[in-house]
Amino acid sequence: MSALALISDLMMQSQVSGAASRLDLDLAAVSSERALLAKAADAPPSLVIVDLSHPGLDPAALMEQLRPHLAEGARTVAFGPHVHKARLAAATAAGFDQVVSRGQFHAEMDSLLQATSGQRPSAE
């Protein structure tokens, strides 16, 4: 199973990569919408994670371009600061499967990836 993540914050990107590694989930983190779309076109992902605080991001435009490149049954998750209610609502309207606050995403990251991968995290 492959996953793509568009995450601006390097600390969050590192945490997501660590969670994916614990689950043996193949995760590619990218720094631009263009890179996300190119990787999705090359190998349709089963999971896409999008940081809504990415500069200039238009959730509707991204989802419209991304949708044709998703694997069958793929899940899309968007997260952003809880104070950016309009951006969270825009992601929901754009069709992301799950839209959560940044804090909720951080708190539920392992569970979210675990549910998507169908695997249990290994003990460290």
Question: pTM for the full model?
Answer: 0.88
CA distances from 60 to 25, 65, 92 (A): 27, 9, 9
Say how many C-beta atoms besides its own lie within 10 A of residue 87's C-beta.
18
pLDDT of residue 119 exceeding 50, the answer is: no
Q: pLDDT tens across 80-96, in order?
A: 998 889 999 999 999 99
The residue extents of the domains of the chain are 2-117
Taking domain 2-117, whether its CATH number is 3.40.50.2300 is answered by yes
Q: pLDDT tens across 31-41, in order?
A: 999 999 999 99
Higher local confidence (pLDDT), 123 or 54? 54
Rg (CA), the chain: 13
- pLDDT recorded at residue 47: 92
